[in-house]
Amino acid sequence: MARKLISKNELLLIAVILLLAFGAYMIITWSSDDAVYARISVRNYPVVYLNLSENTEFTLPQNPNVRFKVENGAVAFIASDCPDQVCVRLGFLHRVGQSGACLPNWVSLVIIGAIDDEDMDILS
């Protein structure tokens, strides 16, 4: 009997490969479109990019007096030794384009990621 052009197993394999490829494609597109980062700068130089999907709490080696927290896709200055506490009062930031700073400590932060047409470009 002549061999079928494609066996059942081969068909299954192709289906699995296609599924995996599609899955990988989706992961790549999603992560590149939806990943939202907070870029933190000290003295106007970017020192860290934080993926806001990973909860964490930390201080920068360049400035241990300013403490950050990332929680549920948002980031905040949670402590600072500055007198005015403007940075801490900002609370959690999560929208692309939102920014904040601790001016006395020369630390700034901005949320970057893809912007939808309906989004806000900046918050003032």
Partner 1 sequence: MCIFFTACSQTQERVYSRFPTQQRIGYFDTLINFIGYAQDEDEFMQYTEIFFDTLGELHRLFDIFNPYEGVNNLYTINANAGVSPVVVEQPIIDMLQAAIGAYHMTDGMTNVAMGSVLRIWHEHRQRGIAHLDYGTIPYINDLMNASILANIDDIIIDVENSTVFLRTPGMSLDVGAIAKGFATELAMQAAIDAGMPAALVSAGGHVVAHGQPSARETWNVGIQNPDVSVGAPRVIDTVAFTDMTLSISGGYERFFEVDGQHLGHIIDPVTLMPANRFQQVAVLHSSSWMADILSTALFILPLEEGWQMALDNEAEVLWIDIDGEWFATPGYIRISAELGA
List interacting residues with partner 1 (CB under 8 A): 39, 41, 43-44, 83-84, 86, 89, 91, 95, 97, 99-101, 103, 106-108, 110, 112, 114-115, 117-124
- Minimum CB distance to partner 1, residue 56 (Å): 21
Q: Which is nearer to partner 1, 5 or 117 (CB)?
A: 117
Q: Are 77 and 64 in contact (CB under 8 A)?
A: no
Q: Quick one: 41 or 62, whose CB is closer to partner 1?
A: 41
What's 27's DSSP letter? H
Cα gap 34→19, rounded to integer Å = 22
Helix (H, G, I), strand (E, B) or coil at 48: strand
